[in-house]
Amino acid sequence: MTFLGIDYQTWWFLLIGAVFTGYIILDGFDLGAGALHLFFVKEQSRRIVLNAIGPVWDGNEVWIVIGGGALFAGFPVVYATMLSAFYVPFMLFLLGIIFRAISIEFRSKEPMFWWRRMWDICYTCSSALIAFLLGLILGNVIEGINVGPDHVFHGSFLDFFNMYAILMGITTLALLMMHGAIYLVMKTEDRLYAKLTILVRDTTIFFVIMILLTSFYTLLYEPHMAKVIRSFPELFVIPVMMVLAIANITRQITKRKYIYAFVSSAVTISLLMILVAIELYPNMLLSSQSPANHLTIYNSSSSEKTLGIMLTFAAIGVPLVVGYTTFVFMTFKGKVKLDEMSY
C-alpha cells in the first residue's frame, strides 16, 4: 500500500530517520554541554551551564523514546536484531543516561566540595560516553555487523571497536561538543561568555579536523557509502550543502552571530543523517557476512495494516511533541539567571 505514491515502509524509514535526527539535534547540545562541563572551573560557572540545559534536557530525551518505539512498531526484526547485537553498547548507553540524570539532580543537594566534584566528573563522563556510543553504533551500522541468515548476531563486543566506528564515535563527540558550546554561548554573559567563545572556536576546529578524517576514511575504505551519489550525480548537492553549512558555522562564529551558527550546526547534523539514509536505503542494517543477510525495510517490517494504523498515530503524536518542545524552548529562552530554585 502507498500514501502519496510512497509505500508505507519508506514512510516509516523517513519517520524514524527524522525522529532520530531530531533527537541528535536536541539532546545533542545538552550532551555536548555535559562533555564540556569540567572545562568550567568556578562553581558559579558550572551552575550556570547546568541551568542552561536544566529546563530542556529531560524533554529532549523524549525523542529517543519515540524513535525506539517507532523502530519497534515499524521494523520489529531490526529492533530485535539491533538490541541483541548491540546489547552491551545499549546497556552502557542506558547507564550513561541514568548517571547523567542523577548527576544533574543530585549535585545541588549537598554543598560539600567532594560531593559536587564527584557528580561533576560523573556528569561529564556519562555525557561524553553517550555521545561517543551514538557514533560508535552508527559507524557499525554503516560498516555492517556479523549478522547471519537467521538475523542473529554472531560477532563479539570487541568487533564494535573497529577503526571506522571509533572514528565515527570521536567525530560525533566533537560535533556535539561544538553544538553544545554554541548553545551555551547563547545562554551566558560576561566572563563565562568570553570563556565560551574560546571553547566554541576550539571545539569547531576539533570537529572540522574529525569530519575531514572521517570523510577521507569513508571514501577510501567504505566505498558503498558513496554508491548512490555516484549513480545519481544530482544528489552531490547534499554533501556540497553540508560543506557550506560547516563553513557557515565558522563564518557566523567569527561574526559572533551564534544563533545562526547554531542553526547551521543543526543543519549539518540533518544533512549528515540524510547522507547516511540515502546510502543505506532500502537497507536498515548491513550484514558483513553476505548482502543476502541485510535487513531491509521490506524483509523486516510489520504488516502493512500495522504500518498504516501506526502511521496515523505518528501523524498526530509527532506534531504534538514538536509543539511541546517549541513551547518549552520559547518559555525558557534568554540568558540564564541563577536563583534559589536553580541546580
Residues contacting residue 110 through CB under 8 Å, at least 6 positions apart: 116
Contact 259, 186 (CB under 8 A): yes
Q: Is 204 left (phi over 0), alpha (psi -120 to 50) or beta?
A: alpha
Distance of CA 117 to the CA centre of its chain: 27
Q: Considering the entire predicted model, what is its pTM?
A: 0.93
Give the Cα separation of 81 and 155 in Å (integer). 12
Give the Cα separation of 81 and 153 in Å (integer). 7
Question: Which residues, in sequence order, are bridge partners of residue 3?
Answer: 6
Give the Cα separation of 52 and 144 in Å (integer). 38
Amino acid 139: pLDDT: 94
Task: List, for residues 52-106, the tens digit of each pLDDT value.
Answer: 998 888 888 888 988 998 899 899 999 999 999 999 999 999 999 999 999 999 9
Look at the chain and count its residues: 343
Task: List, for residues 131-158, the tens digit of each pLDDT value.
Answer: 999 999 999 999 999 998 888 899 888 8
C-alpha cell at 286: 548491513
Amino acid 199: pLDDT: 95
- What parts of the chain have a pLDDT lower than 50? none
Give the Cα separation of 67 and 225 in Å (integer). 23
Backbone phi, psi, residue 303, to 5°: -65, 155
The secondary structure element, H or E, covering residue 257 is: none
